Chain A
Amino acid sequence: MKDKPGAEPVVFVIDDDRMIREGMQSLIRSVGLRVETFASAQDFLMAKRQEAPACLVLDVRMPGLSGLDLQLKLSAANIQIPIIFITGHGDIPMTVRAMKEGAYEFLTKPVRGQDLLDAVQKAIASDRELRQDRQELREIRARFDALTPREKEVLELVVAGLLNKQIADQLAMSELTVKTHRAHVMDKTQAQSLAHLVRMSEKLKTPRK
């Protein structure tokens, strides 16, 4: 699931109106971003996507699967991608719904070019960050999963701030054994310091977004 080194960011534009689609595509390409366009939400769902930082520019009002429907489908499939919604006038209830579902940005049609580009850049940056976070988290989890049950017990107590002596008492083992386990933990989790170890274990405990 690792991003390919230097995977080029991509912007997906979904709008049923060909001229708008082409205009946005041209605009976004002019700043050097890769663009893929789709005439409908269904087309987008059927297309293959490679792993790369991305964002979605999505018309709320479309025949067939609407922008909101697509948003729900994506979140149901646990596909995380920032969505920039383009709405017409009088779509306030839709806006509220989309916001609740975690839309990244809202732009009113007709969209000013610079607004769209800014939103796209920010969304891609945010996606890149999120992807890195998720990647890092996956790596940390893999490292922590490699610990033995005994090492995990020691880890819990170390992170809780107990001294080696206290840990030895609590787990009914010699201080030397605690030290050995502790060294294994630091080694396996690639922790550079105690503070680093604590930060990593905290990260694992916070629920995944």
Chain B
Amino acid sequence: MEATRAKPFFAEPLRYGSAVAFVSIALWLSLILQVPFGNPFWFFFAIAVIVSTWFAGRGPGWLAVALSSLAVLYFFIPPLHSWSIKLPDTPFFATFVLCQVVANWLISWRRQAEDSLRDARDELEARVAERTEELKNANDALVRQMAEQKRMEEDLQVTRTELARVVRITTIGELTASIAHEVNQPLAAVVANADACVAWLSREDPNLAEARAAADRATQGATRASEVIVRIRSLISKVTPEKSRVQINEIIQQTVALAEGQASRNNVAFEFEPEPDLPPVFADSIQLQQVILNLVMNGIEAMSSVTERPRRLLIRSQALSAGQVEVSVRDLGIGVRPETMSRLFEPFFTTRSKGIGMGLPISRSIIEAHGGKLWAESDGAHGSTFRFTLPAGDGPAA
């Protein structure tokens, strides 16, 4: 064990001073007690050396050994009060010195063992403290990270909400531009074909067949333009929903009645399975009709090319456990391809030549404005199912 790591009780001068003091006390006691007890110095000096070594360290111990030997030589070995020694007394004195040396050596050895033990313990404690600190730091960092993550998640949520809003606004802008395009396109066709018609008629050899074909196309263009306008008008006419307490089953029945003509022309059979005790919903009945009619019409359209199986459209209503009402419209048509599935609800996405691709996006926005959801499920090549949910309730939600 290195000296620097020993931790004596006293500073350097004090340690050696204490050794001198202990030896002095031993000498004093020995001189006083010499009268009644003969030669008691043996014990007192031994104690002085032990105490010095134990408390002040090995160096002061050696000093105590030296001082006590000198004191014994001077005061207690005859001739008294002199530094000389007679030959017969030499073994005795030597034994005394030897005992002192052994005591010093044993004690300092023991002391060192204790010191190193204490050092080891201290070191261990320091290490434990260090590890505890590290753990604490790690824990703090973790707590901070978690707080940071939570904040980021909140930020993300805010950003998402904002993004959704921007997307909605952008969609409206795009919608307007696209509507202009949608109307302008058939008008351009009308003008081109009408001009062509006039040109064929005003030739020197008028070509009536070409003129008629051009006039027909002009009419088709005009019809297409008016169709677009009808769709847009129905889309815009009801901007703010007028909500009231409505029974969804009644609305489905009314809508099915509206679509009956279209269905029979296409050989489609309706199958309506209403749940009898459906809770009412608080909604705009005309908008819901629009949604259901749109889904029904889509279903009829999806089965227009089906010939090998009956064309059936299954409409079902049911109450869901979480205070929701669900309506599903299932067709046995050609189904929706996976790559089409993700785009179904995009504005102006359509798989039909005549569609403008607004039915499903508008339906979805209506249902979402009512606090519900609208989605599609494909049944592979055997049709698809469109479902929407609405929260049940007979008044505005709290």
The answer to the question of B196 belonging to the interface, with a C-beta cut-off of 8 Å to chain A, is: yes
- Provide a sorted-by-A list of 11 A–B residue pairs whose CB atoms are within 8 angstroms: A17-B189, A19-B186, A19-B189, A20-B189, A22-B193, A27-B196, A27-B199, A30-B207, A89-B180, A110-B190, A113-B194
The answer to the question of B192 belonging to the interface, with a C-beta cut-off of 8 Å to chain A, is: yes
Instruction: Report the separation of the CA atoms of residues A113 and B180 in the bound assembly, to the nearest whole angstrom.
Output: 21
Find the A residue at minimum CB distance from B201. A30
The answer to the question of A109 belonging to the interface, with a C-beta cut-off of 8 Å to chain B, is: yes
Q: When the two chains form their complex, are residues B185 and A20 in contact, meaning their CB atoms are under 8 A apart?
A: yes
Q: When the two chains form their complex, are residues B221 and A31 in contact, meaning their CB atoms are under 8 A apart?
A: no
Find the A residue at minimum CB distance from B185. A17
Find the B residue at minimum CB distance from A113. B195
Annotate B289-327 by CB proximity to A: 1 below 8 A, 0 otherwise: 000000000000000000000000000000000000000
Find the B residue at minimum CB distance from A90. B177
Find the B residue at minimum CB distance from A17. B185
Instruction: Report the separation of the CA atoms of residues A102 and B180 in the bound assembly, to the nearest whole angstrom.
Output: 28
Majority DSSP secondary structure for residues of B touching A: helix
The answer to the question of B217 belonging to the interface, with a C-beta cut-off of 8 Å to chain A, is: yes
The answer to the question of B228 belonging to the interface, with a C-beta cut-off of 8 Å to chain A, is: no
Annotate A86-129 by CB proximity to B: 1 below 8 A, 0 otherwise: 10111000000000000000000111111011000000000000
Chain A residues within an 8 Å CB radius of B200: 26, 30
Q: When the two chains form their complex, are residues B192 and A24 in contact, meaning their CB atoms are under 8 A apart?
A: yes
Annotate B122-155 by CB proximity to A: 1 below 8 A, 0 otherwise: 0000000000000000000000000000000000
Given A31-B199, A90-B177, A23:B184 Cβ within 8 A: no
Interchain CB contact (< 8 A) of A19 among B180, B197, B203, B221: B221
Chain B residues within an 8 Å CB radius of A152: none
Interchain CB contact (< 8 A) of B203 among A22, A30, A88: A30
Q: When the two chains form their complex, are residues A23 and B185 in contact, meaning their CB atoms are under 8 A apart?
A: no
Q: When the two chains form their complex, are residues B192 and A111 in contact, meaning their CB atoms are under 8 A apart?
A: yes
The answer to the question of B213 belonging to the interface, with a C-beta cut-off of 8 Å to chain A, is: yes
The answer to the question of A141 belonging to the interface, with a C-beta cut-off of 8 Å to chain B, is: no
Q: A30-B203, A110-B188, A111-B192 are in contact. List 6 more A-B contacts (CB 8 A).
A: A17-B188, A19-B221, A23-B221, A26-B196, A27-B195, A88-B181
Instruction: Report the separation of the CA atoms of residues A111 and B185 in the bound assembly, to the nearest whole angstrom.
Output: 11
The answer to the question of B218 belonging to the interface, with a C-beta cut-off of 8 Å to chain A, is: yes
Which 8 pairs from chain A and chain B are nearest by CB?
A113-B195, A23-B192, A19-B189, A23-B193, A27-B196, A26-B196, A30-B199, A110-B191
Given A26-B214, A30-B203, A109:B188 Cβ within 8 A: yes
Given A90-B177, A109-B184, A23:B189 Cβ within 8 A: yes
Chain A residues within an 8 Å CB radius of B162: none
Chain A residues within an 8 Å CB radius of B207: 30
Instruction: Report the separation of the CA atoms of residues A19 and B224 in the bound assembly, to the nearest whole angstrom.
Output: 10
Annotate B23-46 by CB proximity to A: 1 below 8 A, 0 otherwise: 000000000000000000000000
Q: When the two chains form their complex, are residues A26 and B193 in contact, meaning their CB atoms are under 8 A apart?
A: yes
Chain A residues within an 8 Å CB radius of B97: none
Shortest distance from the beta carbon of A40 to any chain B beta carbon, whole Å: 16
The answer to the question of B158 belonging to the interface, with a C-beta cut-off of 8 Å to chain A, is: no
The answer to the question of A61 belonging to the interface, with a C-beta cut-off of 8 Å to chain B, is: yes
Interchain CB contact (< 8 A) of B214 among A23, A88, A89: A23
Most buried by A among B187, B190, B199, B200: B199
Chain A residues within an 8 Å CB radius of B181: 61, 88
Shortest distance from the beta carbon of A157 to any chain B beta carbon, whole Å: 59
Q: When the two chains form their complex, are residues B195 and A22 in contact, meaning their CB atoms are under 8 A apart?
A: no
Q: When the two chains form their complex, are residues A22 and B217 in contact, meaning their CB atoms are under 8 A apart?
A: yes
Find the A residue at minimum CB distance from B189. A19
The answer to the question of B198 belonging to the interface, with a C-beta cut-off of 8 Å to chain A, is: yes
Most buried by A among B187, B188, B190, B214: B188
Given A19-B220, A19-B221, A113-B199, A30:B191 Cβ within 8 A: no
Chain A residues within an 8 Å CB radius of B186: 19
Chain B residues within an 8 Å CB radius of A20: 185, 188-189, 192
Instruction: Report the separation of the CA atoms of residues A185 and B184 in the bound assembly, to the nearest whole angstrom.
Output: 62
Q: When the two chains form their complex, are residues A112 and B195 in contact, meaning their CB atoms are under 8 A apart?
A: yes
